Amino acid sequence: MKYLFIVQGEGRGHLTQCIALEEMLRRNGHEVVEVLVGKSAARELPAFFQQKIKAPVYRFESPNFLPSAANKRNNLWRSVTYNLCKIPTYLKSIRFIKQHIQESRADVVINFYELLTGFCYAFYYIGVPQICIGHQYLFLHKDFELPEIHRAKIGTLNFFSRLTSIGAEQRLALSFHEMPEDTRHRIRVVPPLLRKEVFSLEPKTGDYIHGYMLNSGFAENVLEWHKKRPETPLCFFWDRKGEHTVKQVDETLSFHPLDDKKFLEMMSGCRAYASTAGFESICEAMYLGKPILMVPAHIEQDCNAYDAARNGAGIVSKDFNLDGLLNFAQTYRTNVTFRPWVNSAPYKILHELAQEAHATCLRRSLQSYYYYFLMKKVYLKNLLVGRH
């Protein structure tokens, strides 16, 4: 089967999921013909993605969330206003997506939570089945327990998730744990998509705290804490535009640009992990048995943090005050069911994709038979009236 990927380019999680699924498909004899990645002025495409992905990569302008003035939590209303002003640009992107799907001759489109893919399927008849993958679809599941905070924002997030998956045959919801299928919402729950490098690591317990922040404004919190506890080594990665080298503050604090290999190596050897609650890095830390401090930067990460804490992964905080993390690390116990669940991902995800592939082949066969009999009927009708 030939697959075309469309990826929301904001943050690290969707990109690493894309890499993992491409490796999985290629290993099983399938082809990824193209990868379309949304871009914005606020983010750069990490070098690790361009190095790891095998298929040709094409970029298009896509909506994104803008951080607050302090570059910490995302500003919802500022983001909405900004993206409304760019509607003409996004309409061009929708036509770009449609053209690439048609010209690629892909059998299936895999949508990694890109909004414009949903609009493309809403505005045009595409004819190629779409499957959506993302942990955000879990929040639509009838049995998922949502946090009791920010109900209006959660409703907005779920509305956004529905828009991304317009025209989708199936929503594959990445989850920390197994859950039954939700047929009403076309949701099947599958394990997280972790890259093969994670499985080859041998975790050790070092003396430093490892971290990742989506919005670099949180660096102020880290610096404040570091002044009080300079004896504790800190190694943080950030997504600050224009930063391509390590910023060494002093002997025990450094900020690194996104480097996937180094990020995972540092993760495997750390004492504990602090993050802005992105789903992917939480899963990596859980798989490697690391206690986690989660500092959500937007409502989606609020839900991630709530679910991860319920699964024993770590604690939730409003800022990077690392004292709580060090205290939690002393009593932390690994979630023993998580590793087997993650290890089952290749079987479960490929099984879901294979089912859709069979359904696609059946639909195309039925369409072919329909057109054959339709043309035969027209031919016989013309023959009877003496046109042949």
User: What secondary structure does DSSP assign to 189-200, as a single string?
Assistant: EE-----HHHHT
Neighbouring residues of 200: CB distance < 8 A, sequence distance ≥ 6? none
Strand residue runs (E) in the chain: 2-7, 31-39, 57-61, 66-67, 74-75, 108-112, 130-133, 168-174, 187-190, 209-213, 234-238, 247-250, 253-256, 272-275, 292-294, 314-316
Pairing of strands 108-112, 74-75: unpaired
End-to-end CA gap in the chain: 41
Q: Tell me the C-alpha distance between 26 and 1, whole Å.
A: 10
Radius of gyration of the chain (CA): 23
Which amino acid is it at 281? Answer: S
Is residue 16 within 8 A of residue 263, CB to CB? The reply is no
pLDDT tens track, the chain, 388 positions: 899 999 998 767 899 999 999 999 999 999 999 999 998 766 678 888 888 999 999 999 998 765 544 445 555 556 666 667 788 999 999 999 999 999 999 999 999 999 999 999 999 999 999 999 999 999 999 999 988 877 888 998 999 999 999 999 999 999 999 999 999 999 999 999 998 999 999 999 999 999 998 766 788 889 999 999 999 999 999 877 677 788 999 999 999 988 888 999 999 999 999 998 889 999 999 999 999 999 998 888 999 999 999 999 999 998 898 999 999 999 999 999 999 999 999 999 998 888 876 666 565 555 555 554 566 555 556 655 555 4
Q: Tell me the C-alpha distance between 352 and 25, whole Å.
A: 12
**pTM confidence score:** 0.85
Residue-wise pLDDT tens digits, 256-282 = 988 888 999 999 999 999 998 889 999
pLDDT at 120: 97
Chain mean position to CA 161: 12
